[in-house]
Structure 1
Amino acid sequence: MSCECTELKALKVEADVGAEPIWCKTCGFNLELFDFQLSIPLARELREWAELYGQWIDWDTDTLIPNGIQMEDDHNEAGILLAEKLKRELFGSYTVTFIPSSMARMYANKK
């Protein structure tokens, strides 16, 4: 791990374009999934969930797609469940916080 915190104890689960879904909650450093001893199914779920981030935005027109807010809400609900799974697999070694996306609402307010 390349996080420069003296002790990594707090993680956040947050999706972002082109990033791994686990971050140091203290300094914000993006952490690699393989740095943690996760089950293959959970690592796969986290990566697949992160890859869906932003699907509610039409990147060519930089606009919210129809039903985009609901898509983001569904993505956030899935993220909450994955954060809970991560917490269970790490057996209390870290605190885990989920950070929901609010991008769709930001785009909806741009109009």
Structure 2
Amino acid sequence: MYCFCEQKETFELKVEGDIGADPIWCNQCSCNFELKDIPISDELKVELMRWVNKYGKWIDWGKDKLIPNGIEMEEAHNEQGFILTERVKKELRGKYKVKFSPSTRASGYANKQ
């Protein structure tokens, strides 16, 4: 995958949720890759997009605080992300090193309250 790293290409990816971004990133320079360019199955791409589109549902963005059960919702989101990452690893085996980067937003909001 071509990215912003000094060598212009990476073989180290991470799966990470964020608002308005596809869920695959360069693990070195944090370049966000378009999911359509990742050589994984269409089924897995759909599941990853469903997962990433739920990112941050545990936060009331208007009030800038957690919703009730927000920590549990984030934990469930991270569990699903880990499972999806394992599937990405399996499909990219031998080509890329893949890791999961869990969300830690809820704990940050919980500490503010």
Could you say which TM-score interval applies, normalised by the shorter chain? over 0.9
Match of 2:49 in 1: 47
Any idea what SS the aligned residue of 2:30 has?
coil
TM-score (norm 1): 0.95
1:38 Cα deviation from its structure 2 partner = 1.4
Q: How many residues align?
A: 111
> For 1:51-93, what per-residue CA distance to the aligned partner results, in whole angstroms no more than 9, with x for missing partners?
1000000111111000000000000000000000000111221
Q: Which runs of 5+ in 2 are unaligned?
A: none
Q: Which letter maps to 1:4?
A: F
Any idea what SS the aligned residue of 2:48 has?
helix
Any idea what SS the aligned residue of 1:97 has?
strand
Q: Which letter maps to 2:86?
A: E
Partner residue of 2:107 out of 102, 105, 108 = 105
Distance 1:34 1:92 in 2: 20
TM-score (norm 2): 0.93
Taking only aligned residues, the RMSD between alpha carbons, in angstroms, comes to: 1.1
Distance 1:34 1:11 in 2: 15
Q: Which letter maps to 1:19?
A: A
Q: Which letter maps to 2:91?
A: E
Distance 2:26 2:39 in 1: 16
1:25 Cα deviation from its structure 2 partner = 0.4
Match of 1:93 in 2: 95
Q: Which letter maps to 2:32?
A: N
Is the Cα–Cα contact under 8 Å of residues 2 and 10 in structure 2 kept in the other structure? no
1:9 Cα deviation from its structure 2 partner = 0.7
Distance 1:19 1:4 in 2: 17
Match of 1:71 in 2: 73
Q: Which runs of 5+ in 1 are unaligned?
A: none
